[in-house]
Structure 1
Amino acid sequence: MRVYFTFDPRPDLKESLLKDFPEVDFVFHKKIDEEELAKAEVLVTYGEDLDNEKIKIAEKVEWIFVASAGIEKMPAQAIADRGIVVSNVRGIHKKPMAESILAHLLSIKRALPFIYKQQSEKIWNQQTKLYELNGSTALILGPGAIGSEVGRMLQAFEVYTIGLNRSGESALYMNETHSMDKLKQLLPKADIVISILPSTKETKYLLTYEDFTLMKNNCIFMNFGRGDLVRTEDLIKALEEKQIFHAVLDVYETEPLPSDSKLWEMDNVTLSPHISSRSSRYLERSFEIFKPSLRKWMNGERDLENVMDILRGY
């Protein structure tokens, strides 16, 4: 069996693969080589380097393992037409992303940007407002693996958590869970609105300017899912009008965020360059999912972890 990585993992991870699967022919490249792609039976990729033409070239590939949670940039229809199995690393982001979200929240509540600025300017200034996280209500859009981990951490701070998902079925570490059609009803209750939604037909531009007017004017909005949840102009208008207190963004409608975007200049927004899920343990956790799945695949089993519906996007 030939397994082709379109990225080059660190040496210790490669060595563990070679040791555990001596019967497999592994190929590691930093970018796609079309000759190697044509020979591959299993493809391991971050997903962004694939297009319709490359799927045609990969005529032997039957399984694509995506070392990422998002698959919106992949040629979904071409993959579905071929019947290629797609699985990903859903769940590995929950620890670093939850820590990032909590860090930003505490930073805003406890005025850390102000404190750091005063320190850099050697100014002793106590004139700032400080808030507490406990006693808040957080509305979490997408209480899956990541959202539930966020909920677990927030509940430790005595935050009341409300989850919104497609089904309305209960989710871990949510005090309440509702279906997405309750969005407008629940937005006015939230002190914090956190989105961890993927990019799908249903979630694209789910939030509108009108939704921001329904939020409290002291609400903190955080988008850590995908940038097309809201049109940039709607978000900017809401921030300019102070419809909400602050926005924390890790994802954007256009990435990288254009240098002429008004968002760069606004004092009520925190911009993170889509790095909240990054961790020194990212690939280590990815391999913890890939290796058991590869063993199953070699044994003829197809009930792999995190198999996705490529056309739905999750």
Structure 2
Amino acid sequence: MKVYFTFNSRPDLQQQLIEHFPKVEFTFHSRIENEVLAEADVLVTYGEDLNDEHIKIAKNLKWIFVASAGIEKMPRKAIADRNIIVSNVRGIHKKPMAESIIAHILSLKRSLPYIYNNQQNKIWDKKGNPTELNGSTALIIGPGAIGAEIGRLLQAFEVYTIGLNRSGEDAPFMNETHRISDLAQQLPKADIVISILPSTEETTHMIKYEHFQLMRENAIFMNFGRGNLVETDVLIRALEEKLIYHAVLDVFEVEPLPYDNKLWELDNVTISPHCSSHSSRYLERSLEIFKPSLEKWLKGDTDIENQMDILRGY
């Protein structure tokens, strides 16, 4: 059994794998080497380094483990045509992402950017107009593992949480849950709108200008799912017209965000460079999912955790 990591990890984590699976031949590279790829049975990747030609070369490949949540940049049709199993690390992002989102919310509510700016300019000024998080209403679009963790933390601040999912069935740590098709009806209720949706045909440009018109003028809009949820021009227009108070964006239609993009110039947006899930423990958590799945795989059991429908995108 040959397992090929197309990225380097900490030496101690590599050694743990080698010791735990003595019969497995592991290879760790910082980029794809076609000769190694051709013999790999299992591929571990972040997903952004694969193309159709790689799938052709990887003739022995039967399972791809993606150390990321998204697979939109992968050669999905080529993978599906080969019936290669794909699984990911869904769930490991919930702690760091939830902490990032709460940090951004509290920063805006308690006027921290204003305080930090005054400090840089040696200004003593108490007029930051801080508000309180408790008593707010948050609309969480996509209350899965990450959304549930956000809901749990928000409820600790006495925030009322509304979840939107495909089914409308109850979701953890949501005070109420509705179908995602009810978006327009729920938006006017929210002080904070948080999207953690994946990139699919249904979610592409799902949020339109009309949706921003439905939001409260004091609303905070947060996109931590995928950048194509909103057309960039629509988002810029909504922010320029002050339809909402502030936007916090961790994802964008084009990444890195181009230097000349108007979003850089607006004072009612926070730009986070797709880093909300980053953590010193990221790979540790990834391997906590990979190891038991590899143990199953070696026993001939393909019912591994977090299997994905590669064509649907999740």
Is the shorter-chain TM-score for this pair beyond 0.5, marking a shared fold?
yes
What TM-score, normalized to structure 1? 0.99
Task: Give ranges in structure 2 of 5+ residues lacking alignment.
Answer: none
2:59 is equivalent to residue 43 of structure 1: no
Report the Cα distance in structure 1 between the residues aligned to 2:244 and 2:226, rounded to whole angstroms.
20
Q: Give the match for residue 228 of structure 1.
A: 228
Report the Cα distance in structure 2 between the residues aligned to 1:168 and 1:55, rounded to whole angstroms.
38
2:261 is equivalent to residue 258 of structure 1: no
- Tell me if structure 1 keeps the 8 A contact 2:115–2:128: no
Q: Give the match for residue 19 of structure 1.
A: 19
Report the Cα distance in structure 1 between the residues aligned to 2:90 and 2:245, rounded to whole angstroms.
31
Q: Give the match for residue 219 of structure 2.
A: 219
Q: Give the match for residue 179 of structure 2.
A: 179
2:115 is equivalent to residue 118 of structure 1: no
Please list, as runs of the form range in 1=range in 2, the aligned pairs for 1:21-100 lying within 5 A after superposition.
21-100=21-100
Paired letter, 1:206: M
Task: Give ranges in structure 1 of 5+ residues lacking alignment.
Answer: none
Please state how far the C-alpha of 1:128 moved relative to its aligned partner: 2.0
Any idea what the Cα deviations from partners look like across 1:264-307, whole Å, max 9, x if unmatched?
01000000000000000000000000000000000000110000
Please list, as runs of the form range in 1=range in 2, the aligned pairs for 1:188-199 lying within 5 A after superposition.
188-199=188-199
- Tell me if structure 1 keeps the 8 A contact 2:136–2:160: yes
Query: How many aligned residue pairs are there?
Result: 314
Any idea what the Cα deviations from partners look like across 1:162-195, whole Å, max 9, x if unmatched?
0001111111100011111100000011100000
What TM-score, normalized to structure 2? 0.99
Give SS of 1:216's match: coil
Any idea what the Cα deviations from partners look like across 1:2-59, whole Å, max 9, x if unmatched?
0000001101100000100000000110000000000000000000011111000011
Report the Cα distance in structure 1 between the residues aligned to 2:50 and 2:16, rounded to whole angstroms.
26
Paired letter, 1:161: T
Report the Cα distance in structure 1 between the residues aligned to 2:160 and 2:103, rounded to whole angstroms.
18
Report the Cα distance in structure 2 between the residues aligned to 1:192 and 1:127, rounded to whole angstroms.
23
Identity over aligned residues, as a percent?
Answer: 70
Any idea what the Cα deviations from partners look like across 1:49-71, whole Å, max 9, x if unmatched?
11111000011000000000000
Please list, as runs of the form range in 1=range in 2, the aligned pairs for 1:262-273 lying within 5 A after superposition.
262-273=262-273
Give SS of 1:39's match: coil
Paired letter, 2:64: I
Please state how far the C-alpha of 1:130 moved relative to its aligned partner: 0.7
Please state how far the C-alpha of 1:123 moved relative to its aligned partner: 1.1
Runs of 4+ more than 3 Å apart: none
